[in-house]
Structure 1
Amino acid sequence: MANITISGASTGLFNMTDEIRDIGNSKYLKVAMSDKPYYARLSTEKPSDNNMYVIIDNTKYFIQDNPILFEPIHSEHIYQIFEQRLTVWLPKGKYIVELNTTSTTTDTFTIPSGLNAMILYNYRRGLGVQLSIGSDGSRIFYKRIEASGDKTWFTISRQGD
Structure 2
Amino acid sequence: MANITVTGASTGSFNMTDEIRDIGNNKYLKVAMSDKSYYARLSTEKPANNNMFVIIDNTKYYVQQNPILFEPVHYEHDYGNFEQRFTVWLPKGRYLVEFNTTNTTTDTFTIPSGLNAMILYSYRRGNSVQLAIGSDGSRIFYKAREAGRHQTWFTLSRQGD
TM-score, structure 1 as length reference:
0.99
Partner of 1:153: 153
Q: Trace 1:74-113 onto structure 2 (pairs within 5 A).
A: 74-113=74-113
Q: Deviations over 1:126-148 (max 9, x none)?
A: 32110000000000000111001
Partner of 1:41: 41
Partner of 2:117: 117
Q: Deviations over 1:40-83 (max 9, x none)?
A: 00000001101100000000000000000000000000111100
Partner of 2:139: 139
Alignment length (residue pairs): 161
Aligned partners of 1:102 and 1:51: how far apart in 2? Answer: 48
Partner of 1:30: 30
Contact 2:102 2:146 in 1 (8 A): no
TM-score, structure 2 as length reference:
0.99
Q: Which runs of 5 or more structure 2 residues have no equivalent in the other structure?
A: none
Aligned partners of 1:10 and 1:50: how far apart in 2? Answer: 8
Q: Which amino acid aligns with 2:20?
A: I
Deviation at 1:102, TM superposition (A): 2.9
Aligned partners of 1:20 and 1:111: how far apart in 2? Answer: 17
Partner of 2:53: 53
Cα-Cα RMSD = 0.6
Sequence identity of aligned pairs in percent? 80
Q: Which amino acid aligns with 2:43?
A: S
Runs of 4+ in structure 1 over 2 Å off: none
Deviation at 1:35, TM superposition (A): 1.1
Q: Which amino acid aligns with 2:112?
A: P
Q: Deviations over 1:9-48 (max 9, x none)?
A: 1100000000000000000000000110000000000011
Equivalent position SS for 1:22: helix
Q: Deviations over 1:101-138 (max 9, x none)?
A: 13101000001000000000001123211000000000
Partner of 1:129: 129
Aligned partners of 2:21 and 2:50: how far apart in 1? Answer: 24
Equivalent position SS for 1:88: strand
